[in-house]
Structure formats: structure tokens, C-alpha cells
Amino acid sequence: MQVYLDNAATTPLDPEVIKTMVSTMENDYGNPSSIHAHGRQVKTMVEKARKTVAGLLNVSPSEIFFTSGGTEADNTAIVRGIIDNGLTHAITSPLEHHAVLHTLEEMEKSGAIRLSLLAVDNKGNVDLHQLEELLKENPRSLVSLMHANNEIGTLTDIEYVSALCKQYHAIFHSDTVQTMGHYAHDLTKLQIDFVTGAAHKFHGPKGVGFLYVNHNTKIKPFIYGGAQERNMRGGTENVYGIVGLAKALEICYRDMAEHQQHIQGLKDYMIAQLKENIHDIRFNGDMSPENSLYTVLNVSFPCTDMADMLLFNLDICGISASGGSACSSGSDIGSHVLRAIGADAKRPCVRFSFCKNNTKQEIDFVVGKLRELCLEKA
């Protein structure tokens, strides 16, 4: 049996998305910047996709800009958000994706900003009291906090953070790459400045994403070279990707309740089976359903000599998952997230991430193989 439990890294394309993209590839090949009929036809498709995404997020189409993915969208929001608004201070957490952390660290190295890192507890919750204290001292700051951590799944209350940022006139950017398509985002209600998404995290194609920019927040382009995306992002549009992204997000919103119930059920089932079958198992992140991303489960296994080989052995068994440890050894610097929450550096950790395609039979197979590996190496 082949089991794919690495959906937080990327998801398989939905068949409906494939069908839509193939049709576009076969029939709609004009450049959307061209003024002739072929170009106009494709331009209409891009704008229809933009309208679809905007409608699902309850914002104006003029606030959606298509990018090459979440990393470009994060970089655009952070760099242009800071420079074009004259900010000299930024606040984030040590748990952010490197698309955020490395960007802010480079801006600090260049002298553009002073960077403050929020404290986090052993479940990955950020210190929101500290955030308010920092905002009192530095009201015109950029705050960048992800909605859900990509490694341990802990959710941050971005509605509360948004209200706090509004109170202190701060600019708020949230990396919602892991939650886009899995939760309903009403961005008008949220009153946030920047939100990012990547299609391949919700059964769309790789290499395409989007940046939401609140119409009250003004920034200049991050990539120059053309007048595409209303002069905000140079480069010929990835038409097939954009069409696929919109279709994928549309499907996610259409079937969201059903998929949430199914995937949460799989996660709960795997937790119960792991507890029953493997002694001294631990879970990383906030495990309460209301504070945990239902698609992600991060597990610390018992300290045995299998630590360095667990993912390799799972792969040999036909199981795809991600993992790491909190330690630094050789060229493997380990997980900055697990280090930040104080995870046991000696324990092998695996991130299992689920999607609508997974089944209980697959979970049984994976838990059985894990039990065998733990017993063999104990």
C-alpha cells in the first residue's frame, strides 16, 4: 500500500481542477496582455478567476493579486509593507515559515528595521499580551503572524490580532497558506492588511498563489517589468495556474464542511490508535480541536536508535510524511519550530498531514507499520 500523509507540503490536484486546467491549456493560449481576440479571451478568464477568489473571501477583486506562490506573496507584503509605509519596527514569532522569518531577518540585517520576536509556550501559542505591550511602545509596526503553524498545526487567533493591530495603527500580515481553503476567511470582517495563499496547499497547481492587499493599504510593486496585475506585479500571468487556483478554492468552499468533518475524524482516529499501540508517544502543538489545524498532526516517538531512520523506514514501507527533530547535528540544523517550543531533541518527530482523499484503512496501515518499527528498534 502507498499512503500519502504529507499534504501540508503539497496536495494532489483535484480531478475537477485538472479538467479545467487541461481545457484552458488546449483552447486558451493567448497572452492576456494582448489586445486581440485571443488575448482578450484569456484576460477575461484571469479576471473571472480573480472575481471568484475575491467573492469567496468577501473582498473586492481589485484587492487580489496573483503571484508565483506563498513565498513571493509573503515577501511582497513584508518588504513593500515596511518600505512603502515608512515602518522601522516589525513583530513576529520564532515559529513562522522561513518565507517570513528570513525576509524579516534580512531586513533587520540591512538596517531597515528593528525586529522583535514574541515568546511562545510549549504548545506553540504566541504571547499576545507581549504583542500588545510591544505595540504600545511601537504603534507603527508591521506584525506578521501565521494563522496556523505548518509543522505543529497550532492556530493563532488572527481576528484578535487584527483588532489589536487596528487599535494601535499597526499593519498586519498573516501567512494563511496552511489554512486557505480549509477554513472560511471573511477578510472584510477580519480587517487585515495582507493575506497570502498558495494553490498547491488546497488541491490546486504548484507555482501559483495570491496576495490580498486591503484597499486602504498602499504598496508599490515587488517585481517590476510590466503592467500586469494592474501595475502591481510584472510578468506574464500564469494563466493555467490562476484558473486552477480559482477552481480549487471554489471546490474547497463548496465542500468545506464535509471535508472538515472527515479529516478531523481521521486525525482523532490516528491520535487514539497511536496512543493505544505505541508506548510513551507525545504530540507537539496545541491539541485542543479549537486551537489546532485539523489537517496536521505532529508526533514525537519514543527515544530509540530508530531516531535518524524513522522517515527513511516509513518511506521504504510506502508511507510519505515529513519530519525532523529539535536538535542540530551535522548539516541537519533541525526544526526551528520544534526547538522554539522546547521539544525533546532526542525524540524523532514526524508530521502527518491529511486531506480529503485519506482513509481510516490508510491510518490503520501507517499505525501498524509504526508499531512494528518502534518494537523492532526498541
pLDDT in tens for each of the 378 residues of the chain? 999 999 999 999 999 999 999 999 999 999 999 999 999 999 999 999 999 999 999 999 999 999 999 999 999 999 999 999 999 999 999 999 999 999 999 999 999 999 999 999 999 999 999 999 999 999 899 999 999 999 999 999 999 999 999 999 999 999 999 999 999 999 999 989 999 999 999 999 999 999 999 999 999 999 999 999 999 999 999 999 999 999 999 999 999 999 999 999 999 999 999 999 999 999 999 999 999 999 999 999 987 665 568 999 999 999 999 986 544 444 456 899 999 999 988 889 999 999 999 999 999 999 999 999 886 554
**Bridge partners, residue 332, by sequence:** 329
C-alpha 274/C-alpha 276 separation (Å) is 5
CATH no. for 3-9+255-377: 3.90.1150.10
Boundaries of every domain in the chain: 3-9+255-377, 15-251
Number of other residues whose CB lies within 10 A of the CB of residue 194: 25
Q: What is the pLDDT of residue 161?
A: 98
Residue 211, helix vs strand vs coil: strand
Tens of pLDDT along 16-55?
A: 999 999 999 999 999 999 999 999 999 999 999 999 999 9
Instruction: Tell me if residue 327 is catalytic.
Output: yes
Q: What is the pLDDT of residue 139?
A: 85
Tens of pLDDT along 201-254?
A: 999 999 999 999 999 999 999 999 999 999 999 999 999 999 999 999 999 999
What pTM does this model have? 0.95
Strand stretches in 114-214, DSSP E? 114-117, 142-144, 171-175, 194-198, 209-213
* Amino acid, single-letter form, for residue 188: T
Number of other residues whose CB lies within 10 A of the CB of residue 114: 13
**Bridge partners, residue 324, by sequence:** 349
CATH topology of domain 15-251: Aspartate Aminotransferase; domain 2 (3.40.640)
Active-site pick, 165, 252, 317, 327: 327
Residue 122, sorted as left (phi over 0), alpha (psi -120 to 50) or beta, turns out to be alpha
C-alpha 123/C-alpha 120 separation (Å) is 8
* Amino acid, single-letter form, for residue 206: K
State the pairing for strand pair 142-144/89-92: parallel
Phi, psi dihedrals of residue 38, rounded to the nearest 5°: -65, -40
C-alpha 213/C-alpha 222 separation (Å) is 13
Q: What is the pLDDT of residue 364?
A: 98
